[in-house]
Amino acid sequence: YQTDAAIRYKANPDYWGGKQKIDDLVFAITTDPAVRAQKLKAGECNIMSYPAPADIAGLQADPNLKVDEQEGLNVGALMYNTQQKPFDDVRVRKALNMAINKKAIIDAVFQGAGQVAVNPIPPTMWSYNKDVKDDPYDPDAAKKMLEEAGVKDLKMNVWAMPVSRPYMPNARRTAELIQADFAKVGVTVNIVSYDWGEYLKRASAVDHDGSVIVGWTGDNGDPDNFLGVLLSCASVGSNNRAEWCNKDFDALINKAKTVSDQAERTKLYDQAQVIFKEQAPWATLAHSKVFMPMQKTVSGFAMDPLGIHRFDGVDIAE
């Protein structure tokens, strides 16, 4: 392993599943998605992750490449620190949600490779509540609600992730669009960022200042992996970056963990999603498709819905 440069693997001849077809596997650490795309097109690598939405059409058109795709088990969001004034007031959170033009974010940032998020779990997951309605895009109503909440000349930080992920390909651009939307309702946004490790660490602190753009790709396909990990009282100070603890919501998801019948669990998660939407600890932004471009010479690679990149069984035609 070379820090920020590469990870090199050699096939183990004594591996229990048999020696793999690829003798040498190299992860070339390349943080810029445009550079990753250039390397793939030039034949300097065989497969790339997390292409920028703007590059996907060009990659699909390249005769030497194939681009696998699937609906992502993910969500991207703006998570308010609900323990910080004025974001401890649900009216303020709902007002800000109504100020965000999500469709514009989908068009500009995801470029057709995503859909507006309504719930904190993706629509591909069982127990997704289709009856929950999203907050409408209504800047006039948002401005009025802020006034009713006694909020005037609000200044706030919006944190922009420094890295690209399928659920958020360009957090800086997303933050700029939110900044412009909030300005229309009298809210001034300062965009801040840190390196990725520091970003996650600081965003977990209960007293972090501002609202955080971040998201999640599921680990196991269970709703608790979103609702429990990201929104439970137990996760405050860690993955619950809204620092939100709602006893009614918590009781529902905790009960769902003790029930084995999926239909019964679905009823509980349905109710939990209603509470989430009413209380608005996040502005749910997007669910994305996930794309994996590769050389046509690559065989045996299968996209994993949990976002894992597996290379067992993969081969390259000479």
d(CA 141, CA 242): 24
Give percent of the chain above pLDDT 70: 100
Tell me, yes or no, whether 303 lies in a domain.
yes
The mean per-residue pLDDT over the stretch 266-287 comes to 98
Question: Are residues 29 and 151 part of one domain?
Answer: no
Are 19 and 113 found together in one domain? Answer: no
- Sorting pLDDT into bands at 50, 70 and 90, what band is 202? very high
Q: Which CATH number characterizes residue 298's domain?
A: 3.40.190.10
pLDDT at 238: 95
Residues 275 and 304 in one domain: no
**CA nearest to 72, candidates 22, 32, 121, 33:** 121
pLDDT value for 131: 98
Average pLDDT of the residues in 107-123? 93
For residue 268, being part of any structural domain is answered with: yes
Same domain, 210 and 249: yes
Q: Is residue 1 part of a domain?
A: no
**Average pLDDT estimate for 243-263:** 97
pLDDT at residue 168, as a whole number:
94
Q: 19 with 122, same domain? A: no
Quick one: 283 and 302 in the same domain?
A: no
Taking residues 20-37, report their average pLDDT.
94
Same domain, 199 and 111: yes
Asked if the peptide bond before residue 86 counts as cis, ω within 30 degrees of 0, the response is yes
Whole-number average pLDDT of the chain: 95
178 in a structural domain: yes
- What would the mean pLDDT of 287-309 be, rounded to a whole number? 92
Number of domains in the chain: 2
Its pTM surpasses 0.75: yes
- In the predicted structure, residue 305 carries a pLDDT above the cut 90: no
Q: How much is the pLDDT for 307?
A: 82
| Whether residue 307 is found in the same domain as residue 165 | no
Judge whether residue 262 has pLDDT over 80: yes
Give per-residue pLDDT as tens, 65-112: 999 998 889 999 999 999 999 999 999 999 999 999 999 999 999 997
In a shared domain, residues 153 and 240: yes
**207 and 162 housed in the same domain:** yes
Mean pLDDT value across residues 54-72: 93
**Domain carrying residue 263:** 74-288
Looking at residues 50-79, what average pLDDT do you find?
93
Q: Are 210 and 238 members of one domain?
A: yes
pLDDT for 125:
94
CATH number, domain containing residue 141: 3.10.105.10
Q: Residue 222, CB half-sphere, CA atoms under 13 Å: how many?
A: 12
Q: What percent of the chain has pLDDT over 90?
A: 90
Domain annotation covers residue 217:
yes
The pLDDT value recorded for residue 166 is 86
* 3-state SS track over 84-121: CCCCCCHHHHHHHHHHCCHHHHHHHHHCCCEEECCCCC
Pair 227, 136 in one domain: yes
Kindly give the pairing relationship between strand 282-295 and strand 6-10: unpaired
Predicted confidence band of residue 294 (pLDDT cuts 50, 70, 90)? very high
More confident call, 95 vs 124 = 95
In a domain, residue 67? The reply is: yes
